[in-house]
Amino acid sequence: MAAARAIGLDVTGIDWDSNAAQVGKQALGLETIFPLSIEEYVTKNAGETFDIVSFFEVLEHQDNPTVFLSQVRRLVKPGGHIALSVPNRNRWQKGLDVTDLPPNHLTRWNPAVLMTFLRRGGFEIVSLREEPISLRRTASMLSAAMPTGIGRMVMGGAPPNSTEVAENPVRALDTLQKQSQSGRSRLGSFLIRCKNDAFFLPALACWPLLRWKGYRGVYMYCLARLTG
């Protein structure tokens, strides 16, 4: 919102997290940011529309993407645009990322599915770009392919993932606090970074080939226009 405002656009934003909205107001002076869901905003501001509606890394968290898109459509002016990004399920990774599972990500998207979904919702695809594999991502995946267990060993186990946090937040918080208080979390994170950095040289050797073969990075970005 601050970046869009800086180039002269009028901006409005919503976020379920009231703390995030408050930080936006206090730190960036964003007065028109509200702690509301999209359904609440549409209900309270019936008839209000925008030239552009953006939602980056939001769609994959929706339990009903079709209803969410219908709410978005009510906020877009005729001929207006939506801009969004989602994790690309075609990205290069070793195994299934736990963040792609509920309760974090509720849906997974590739280019064909996303374009079909948006077209059925009344939008014309202007552009869709898949992020190419980066050198850092290549190093990280090479590192993941050769696990050492050093992080788990130092921290006394892996930090709780999003599923564990949702299922038992008290136990997850207790685990995080113990790891943080003992200094294990900081040391484990440092050692994991060192291990990943050690794979930069091997990554340099295979990264050009991976780019040439079309391996994808984490995200894809889409711009679409409302046709109805």
pLDDT given for residue 20 in this prediction: 86
Q: What is the pTM (predicted TM-score) of this model?
A: 0.81
- Mean per-residue pLDDT for 151-176? 64
| Domains present along the chain, CATH in parentheses | 37-226 (3.40.50)
Residue 159: pLDDT above 70?
no
Structural tokens at position 158: 């892996």
pLDDT given for residue 4 in this prediction: 94
Contact 175, 160 (CB under 8 A): yes
- Mean per-residue pLDDT for 157-183? 65
When mean pLDDT is compared across 12-16, 36-40, 43-47, 100-104, the lowest value belongs to 100-104
Model pLDDT for residues 102-158, shown as the tens digit of each residue = 888 999 999 999 999 999 999 999 999 999 999 999 998 888 888 776 656 665 666
More confident residue, 58 or 161: 58
Contact 102, 120 (CB under 8 A): no
Residue 166: pLDDT above 80?
no
Contacts of 55 (CB under 8 A, 6+ apart): 72, 82, 84
Residue 2: pLDDT above 80?
yes
